[in-house]
Amino acid sequence: MNKKVLMGILAAFLIAGGLYLLLTQESGPKPIDPANVVKKTVNMSGMTCEACEIAIDKVITEKGMVKVKSSSPDQRVEVEFDKTQTDIQTVMKNIKRKGFTPVSYEDEDGLHELNSSKKVEAQHEMKCGSGKCGGAGKCGGSE
């Protein structure tokens, strides 16, 4: 076979393959179905200030998330998510990735302890000057 013909066939296959991949890819995030949205409360350890809340609330950008509302005084994070796109374990893993420690979660079935065989200590307590608040001492107070 002629080299030019072979190269033409190869180019046609590459173009067709590229078009196939382009057309079969999902375009953007999957829509949230309100019928699949669940609400859970994550109990936390180590949230000390508003900057902690803001950092945790950014979990909303993760796939399947609908709403996130953190409260450092209550050490709680209220989450709503599409159960077909994510789950509570993934949500808590994403919170932990932000540097905070989920210790349990609550839903319609009650309280679900994490690592119930041992007490869970905070990975780190967010303090001013640790990159979030920029002040001296704990937020809301002075050392």
Model confidence at 117: pLDDT above 50: no
CA 123/CA 125 separation, integer angstroms:
7
Amino acid at 127: K
Model confidence at 135: pLDDT above 50: no
CA 138/CA 34 separation, integer angstroms:
39
Average pLDDT over residues 34-59: 91
The DSSP H or E segment spanning 80 is strand 76-82
**CATH number, span 34-113:** 3.30.70.100
Cβ atoms of residues 97 and 87 within 8 Å: no
Helix (H, G, I), strand (E, B) or coil at 77: strand
* Dihedral sign (CA 86, 50, 105, 40): negative
Give the start-to-end residue ranges of the domains of the chain. Answer: 34-113
pTM: 0.62
Average pLDDT over residues 45-52: 88
Q: What are the tens digits of pLDDT across the range 3-25?
A: 888 888 888 878 877 777 766 66
Band of residue 26 on the pLDDT scale cut at 50, 70, 90 = low
Model confidence at 37: pLDDT above 70: yes
